[in-house]
Structure 1
Amino acid sequence: MANNNSTADTTQSITLKDGRTLCYGTNGASGSNSAASAQLPTAFLFHGFPGSHQEGHAIHKAALTHGIRIVSVSRPGYAGSSPEPKRTISSFALDVLELADHLHIQRFAVMGISGGGPYALGCLLKIPADRLAGTMVVSGMYPTSLGLSEMMLSNRVIFNIAPWAPWLIGFLFNSSIGAAAQDVAHPERLKETLQGGFKSMPPEDRRVVEADGGELLDIFTTSMREAFRDGAAGAAYEAALFGNPWDFDLEQLPVRKGELVIYHGGKDIHVPLRMAREAVAKMNGAQLIVEENEGHTLGFCKTDEIMKKLRQMIAKEQ
């Protein structure tokens, strides 16, 4: 087993068949060797928007408690993963499947938090049922065709502009959080920038970020620094993916009973609960679990409950 307090950098990478680099990290349970690790209950974690695989550190302790190995993957354009200018939301599932093969993991679950949610749904579409044990979406983003009412203004601006002018979104990111992330002379600037942003968030989110001496804020800071280390092109491209029609419809998803679980906070202003409810209504068989008193950071304060549910999905203990 890994150290219960381990948050050391565990970045690894593979070269995909098309020559691209895919970066990832591992958290939670670990085996004595690669063969033993491959037999552990495993879930692939997809980070938020923008972000990187460093977010996996935030659920390390809960995953360890429940004996789950977490493999966090940085999407193309983030944290050393090569850009893929032709990628779609569902095509990322093929990268995940190739990584699973590389790690000799036959059956696994996927979990998408916030902007990682669409990619978890894409895996449900593209990964064979005999490989995919379950899909979990926490505080996930859904198609903008559902409407952006009740969503915070900055997100509405991003998702409305990005399909038409991704270069402008890249410029805005590079002028703000990207510049802070790349300021090696003043590394404290990024954390201060994130702190300032959270001051305008609901108290439910501030409470989670400030807990345990700001441990989650430190993880977010590392995640963002990695996300923008090569610039904002990855984030801008992804904003356009989210703002444009997705390459699949929610009604297409082959939802199997007990294998798609959606968690969402009632106080979420990044992605309002209304969007999650409307999305779930289109996915016949999806289970919606609403935490009425939580915000967008639900995935980082209900980690024990979520990891327990994830373990049940993988092991089919329901």
Structure 2
Amino acid sequence: MPAMVSNTAQTAAVSEDLPPASPRIRLADGRYLAYRESGVPKNKANYKIIIVHGFGSSKEMSFLAPQELIDELGIYFLLYDRAGYGESDPNPKRSVKSEALDIEELADQLELGLKFYVIGVSMGSYPTWSCIKHIPHRLAGVALVVPVVNYRWPSLPDHLIKDDYRRKLIKWGLFFAEFAPGLLRWWVTQKWLPSTSVLERNPVFFNSRDIEVLKTIPGFPMLSQEKLRQQGVFDTLHHDFKLAFSRWDFDPMDLSNPFPQNQSSVHIWQGYEDKVVPFLLQRYISFKLPWIQYHEVPDGGHLIVHYAGLCEAILRALLLGEEHLHYKPTIAKIVS
């Protein structure tokens, strides 16, 4: 039976008048970051992994891994609430770089050692890309699971993105987030709009396997109209979205291999049927950065992290260098 590295409840920003329920560290700038530890005890671990949650999630996200594998390899997991999420304080100076520096300071205060692994899921990938850019010397290995693609990266070829409807949706979302956040908040909290339960089962966003998964997990309660009416929750999501899809201080396709001696590796895991992030762009990125090991789930959507056996495959590839042939693309991944 797989062990749940975290329980499946997802939380919104904690009310200021409620005491924190989770341990927290105080960062150098005075903010607090909440975290949760799982796996084997830290002092007995052979592998220390920080998991970075995505949009509308928290340190309570699900990451399923077999207990036998965790014990056999000696894996310690550290999950934390990114700035403004869960029980962590917002960062008024939040940037793509600050996300990586939060991870580094969290690792230092919890004494993870000189190097640690990072797994970023969905929108948790932009802090993970930032780690490769800003703190590569601290990384023992990296995995990006269905990572978001920022259509403003200068090196993305126009023929792959010009007709992508997701690009247009993000463009309009950024416009309202920048110039009319009040209108955006009003729009997403109207009672006549579909509930998140309807959106979660919408084939526009999820394939059939994702929809089956959504029948067994809580979904995205932070994105409910009730939660979005809370100013703190809306502000966190609003700022996170803007940061992920606005201009960054670097283009990932200009990055150098953080492991030039092949002492470790970077991985991308992508669903072939992902309707949130197109697989063609992930293939292009892995072609431009040949030091990235690319894995593709043939019938996978955007929620592959919840698929049975997938987290084990991610860990085996990242920690042991094992390649599961089922996730090796069967057609050429080169996209010209």
Specify the TM-score bucket, using the shorter chain as the normaliser. Answer: 0.7 to 0.9
Quick check: 1:195 aligned with 2:207? no
Q: CA deviation at 1:223?
A: 9.3
Query: Structure 2 CA distance, aligned partners of 1:262 and 1:299?
Result: 12
Q: 1:5 to 1:109 in 2, by over 3 A?
A: closer
Amino acid of the residue matched to residue 309 of structure 1?
A
| Deviation by residue 1:268-300 (Cα, 9 ceiling, x = unmatched) | 011111221222233241111111210001122
Amino acid of the residue matched to residue 7 of structure 2?
T
Q: 1:161 to 1:43 in 2, by over 3 A?
A: same
Could you tell me whether the CA contact under 8 Å between 1:267 and 1:293 is conserved in 2?
yes
**Higher RCO by CA contacts (8 Å cutoff, separation 6 or greater):** 1
Structure (1 or 2) with the greater helix fraction: 1
Which of 147, 161, 165 is equivalent to 2:177?
165
Which of 87, 103, 110 is equivalent to 1:96?
103
Could you tell me whether the CA contact under 8 Å between 1:44 and 1:70 is conserved in 2?
yes
Question: Is the deviation greater in 275-284 or in 257-266?
Answer: 275-284
What number of residue pairs does the alignment pair up?
Answer: 285
Number of the residue aligned with 1:310:
318
Number of the residue aligned with 1:265:
271
SS at match of 2:131: helix
Number of the residue aligned with 1:251:
253
SS at match of 2:140: strand
Equivalent residues in 2 for 1:141-290, closer than 5 Å: 141-145=148-152, 146=156, 148=161, 156-162=168-174, 165-166=177-178, 168=180, 172=184, 176=188, 193-200=195-202, 201-210=206-215, 214=216, 216=217, 218=218, 220-221=220-221, 230-255=232-257, 256=259, 257=262, 258-290=264-296
| Deviation by residue 1:290-317 (Cα, 9 ceiling, x = unmatched) | 112100011221122112223326xxxx
Q: What percent of counterpart residues are identical?
A: 24
TM-score (norm: length of structure 2): 0.73
Query: Structure 2 CA distance, aligned partners of 1:13 and 1:60?
Result: 24
| Deviation by residue 1:227-278 (Cα, 9 ceiling, x = unmatched) | 8663211111121112212111113323234511001000001111122122
Q: CA RMSD in A?
A: 3.2
Which of 14, 29, 33 is equivalent to 1:22?
33
Number of the residue aligned with 1:186:
none
Quick check: 1:123 aligned with 2:140? no
Number of the residue aligned with 1:133:
140
Query: Structure 1 CA distance, aligned partners of 2:271 and 2:129?
Result: 19
TM-score (norm: length of structure 1): 0.77
Query: Structure 2 CA distance, aligned partners of 1:134 and 1:270?
Result: 25
**Gaps in structure 1 of 5+ consecutive residues:** 181-191, 314-318
Q: 1:25 to 1:171 in 2, by over 3 A?
A: farther
Query: Structure 2 CA distance, aligned partners of 1:65 and 1:35?
Result: 18
Query: Structure 2 CA distance, aligned partners of 1:138 and 1:5?
Result: 16
Amino acid of the residue matched to residue 273 of structure 1?
F
SS at match of 2:29: coil
Query: Structure 1 CA distance, aligned partners of 2:168 and 2:68?
Result: 37
